[in-house]
Amino acid sequence: MGILNVTPDSFSDGGRFSSPEAAIEAAAHLESEGASIIDVGGESTRPGAQPVTAQEELRRVIPVIRGIRRRSQIPISIDSMKSEVADAALSEGADIINDVSALRHDPEMLSVCLKWRPGVVLMHMQGTPATMQKAPTYQNATAEVEAFLQERLSFATTNGIEPEFVVLDPGIGFGKSAAHNIEILSAIPLLSSIGRPLLLGISRKSILTHLASAQTIAERYWPGVTLTSLAREMGARIFRVHEPAPHLQALRMTEAILAA
């Protein structure tokens, strides 16, 4: 899953693709590097980020989704918590809703899912992007994340979303300390056993600084690729990344060994 942030304030690439034309070209580059999905986001979810209006989010993402779809049939994911944005994105050809609130933020998001029957990513997050890194606390991070994902999967399927349309994301970096993130990464086999594909977003995140002393965004590159390989061996299936090519190489190598 190639990351395409069309925001001015995302943590590592905010403002790089401020025009639709630049974003559409970036999507083509992600696809050429081997991305299987393009994840388009118009509202930053970095720690401390403030929300934007649905109108502003639509202004940022709809021309980009429309342009990508004109050029390619690659699956498009809309990274949004807002039903209005998701509905408009799906009407323009998006295929997946990537909701970091796991259908909790907007009560109308479920109706959009039932209307379009897209793929749905349900992610764990403690708090909101604006507050999530202000002293996150758990009694047992693994157990609480597992219980949350189980409950959200049950909510989705009980309310009419087909289970085979659902992907789960433990939300690395979303309301979690470095120790919590490490604990959850070690629990990938357990979380994968819930029965739906596990999506992992670790690309360029600060956990890589903690684990590998990667002080700059550029230095987080190879530790992230290493974690992709390890997480695939442990059971994760979808990887949300900024640079698809090296992650795809790592996956091919790891999968060849696993298949042997």
Rounded distance, CA 40 to CA 25, Å? Answer: 13
Count CB neighbours of 186 within 10 A.
Answer: 11
Q: Give the helix, strand, coil percentages of the chain, each rounded to 5.
A: 45, 10, 40
Residue 15: per-residue pLDDT: 53
Tens digits of per-residue pLDDT, 236-253?
999 999 999 999 999 999
Cβ atoms 244, 34 nearer than 8 A: yes
What is the pLDDT of the chain when averaged over all its residues?
93
Residue 194 pLDDT > 90, yes or no?
yes
Task: Tell me the pLDDT band of 205, cut-offs 50, 70 and 90.
Answer: confident
Is pLDDT at 100 greater than 80 in this prediction? Answer: yes
Beta strands in 170-225 (DSSP E): 199-200
Distance CA 25, CA 51 (A): 26
Q: Are the beta carbons of 149 and 142 closer than 8 angstroms?
A: no
Question: 69, 204, 205, 220: which is the annotated catalytic residue?
Answer: 205
pLDDT of residue 212: 85
d(CA 187, CA 51): 31
State which residues form the domain around 50.
2-259
Q: How far apart are CA 228 and CA 26, in angstroms?
A: 22
On whether the pTM is more than 0.85, the answer is yes
Based on DSSP, count helices (H) and strands (E) in the chain, helices before strands: 10, 8
Asked if residue 67 has pLDDT above 80, the reply is yes
Instruction: Please enumerate in sequence order all residues whose Cβ is within 8 A of that of 92, keeping only pairs 6 or more positions apart, or say none.
Output: 62, 65, 66, 69
Say which amino acid occupies 102: A
Active site residue 205: yes
pLDDT at residue number 48: 79
Q: Which pLDDT tens digit goes with each residue over 147-174?
A: 999 999 999 999 999 999 999 999 999 9
* Residue 9's pLDDT band (cuts 50, 70, 90): low
Q: Average pLDDT, stretch 96-125?
A: 98
Task: Give how many domains the chain has, as a whole number.
Answer: 1
For 12-46, how does the pLDDT look when each residue is reduced to its tens digit (9 = 90+)? 554 566 689 999 999 999 999 999 999 999 998 88
**For residue 50, is pLDDT > 90?**
no
Q: Which of 82, 196, 220, 240 is catalytic?
A: 240
Task: List the CATH number of the domain containing 181.
Answer: 3.20.20.20
Residues 6+ apart with CB under 8 A from 167: 119, 120, 121, 122, 196, 197, 198, 199, 237, 238
